[in-house]
Structure 1
Amino acid sequence: MYSLYYSPGAASLVVHWLLIEFDVPHELRLVDTQARQHKSDDYLALNPNGLVPTLVADGKPLYEAAALVLHLADRHAESGLAPALDSPLRGPYLQWMLNLANTVQSPMRLWWYPGDIIDDSNADEIREGTRRRVEAAWDRLDAHRAANGPYLLGDRLSAADFYLAMLMRWTRNMPRPGHDWPHLAALAQALKARPSFKTLYEREGLTDWA
């Protein structure tokens, strides 16, 4: 049994999505970030970074969304969403997971929270830099899918595609969202058509980007 500490629409979304996709027993523990529950002593004992998600597996807390995606996909290899260690696709799979974490998820946090690194008087400059960096990543990803699609690993769907879909959702209110690129839009539509996505949205009470 897994326990997922989550907040609707946050980075926990992809972890929750995979738990549903894999049809494995799990319980949800809502973290009210507006009430700053993620900074409480009890939560910091699980995740000293004070961020969502945290996944308790085998009685031990784990965190970092990309790491949890990799862990779950390997642990539930029967899903086929993670190439085996000896597969020629294993390297590209890990490459895309870390690329997404570093070139999209990391700067996206600064779009929402520019005050993490600079005073609010320069927030617009930070957001503009974030916009350029994220849009450059979408350019590269769209070109890759155009040449190698329909998925990041060509014909094979992987957990990296679920991660990419979540990150595209995060840009839905940016000047140019990820789904504005045609090949990324096709990927988003394919992932959102999965039954697990409908269940995910119902459980998290989400309606936008449906």
Structure 2
Amino acid sequence: MYQLYYYPLNASMAPHFILEALQVDFELTLVDRNSKAQKSPSYLALNPAGRIPTLIDDGFAIFESAAICIHLAESHPTSNLMPPIGDKNRALFFQWLMYLTNTLQAELMIYCYPEKYTTEINSVSGILAAQDTRITEILTLLDHELESKSFLVGETISVCDYFLFMLAVWADELKKPPLSFKNLSQYLRQLAQHKAIITVCQKEGLNLADYH
């Protein structure tokens, strides 16, 4: 059985989506960020980065959200959550997943925690404004990519889609949130009808009313 160390609406959300989509047995273990449990000696023994999530697979600990998602998809190839070796879409899958985690997620982290990226408290508002603009540019690119498409890669839902849905949730307080984009909005509303997303959002306390 898999064990996912998680915190609601955190970076553990994408692996949580994947576990639900796979319909495999797994156990959720809450890591209380409010008490900084992710920095505890017991958690650091599993994940020396001290961040959430961590997946335990048969006693083997894996961290980094995108890496966990890839591992789960490759461990269950019949799920079709990532293109197989030899499929031309496999390169695009890695392209977009890397773009999501290395670009969109990285920029969102600065937006969500601006105080961690400066030693000058007066510069926080400027960081927020700059990040709002930068993330809007990224969402615009994704909106164009999703024109006339139901999924980011290929013709079926993949890890990329679950990962983007998670990041879109994080971006809902932007001046121009994901649901304000034509193609991105339609795409997210379609994803919100998938059982795995509905189930995880119920467990993690996210109301999907805006996606209906």
> Which residue pairs with 1:167 in the alignment?
167
> Which residue pairs with 1:28 in the alignment?
28
TM-score by length of 2: 0.94
> Which residue pairs with 1:10 in the alignment?
10
The whole-number CA distance in structure 1 between the counterparts of 2:205 and 2:150 is 29
Question: Is 2:129 the partner of 1:128?
Answer: yes
8 Å CA contact retained: 2:47, 2:63: yes
Structure 2 residues not aligned, in runs of 5+ = none
Residue identity matched to 2:130: G
Secondary structure of residue in 2 paired with 1:156? coil
Cα deviation for residue 86 of structure 1 reads: 0.9
The whole-number CA distance in structure 1 between the counterparts of 2:143 and 2:206 is 26
Q: Which runs of 4+ in 1 moved over 2 A?
A: 154-157, 205-210
Secondary structure of residue in 2 paired with 1:146? coil
Secondary structure of residue in 1 paired with 2:5? strand
8 Å CA contact retained: 2:143, 2:184: yes
Q: Which moved more, 1:33-42 or 1:194-203?
A: 194-203
> Which residue pairs with 2:145 in the alignment?
144
The whole-number CA distance in structure 2 between the counterparts of 1:197 and 1:138 is 21
Secondary structure of residue in 2 paired with 1:62? strand
Question: Is 2:179 the partner of 1:179?
Answer: yes
8 Å CA contact retained: 1:103, 1:133: no
> Which residue pairs with 1:62 in the alignment?
62
Secondary structure of residue in 1 paired with 2:147? helix
Note closer, same or farther for the CA distance 1:150–1:207 as it changes in structure 2 (3 Å cut): closer
Residue identity matched to 2:106: S
Cα deviation for residue 157 of structure 1 reads: 2.2
The whole-number CA distance in structure 1 between the counterparts of 2:139 and 2:43 is 34
Give CA-to-partner distance per residue, 1:106-129, whole Å, 9 cap, x none: 111111211222122211111122
Residue identity matched to 2:101: A
Q: Which moved more, 1:24-33 or 1:40-49?
A: 40-49
Residue identity matched to 2:21: E
The whole-number CA distance in structure 1 between the counterparts of 2:15 and 2:102 is 18
Residue identity matched to 1:129: A
The whole-number CA distance in structure 1 between the counterparts of 2:183 and 2:72 is 27
The whole-number CA distance in structure 1 between the counterparts of 2:130 and 2:68 is 28
Give CA-to-partner distance per residue, 1:147-190, whole Å, 9 cap, x none: 6x121124332110111111111111121111211111111111
Identity, in percent, stands at 33
How is 1:76-95 mapped onto 2 (pairs within 5 angstroms)?
76-95=76-95
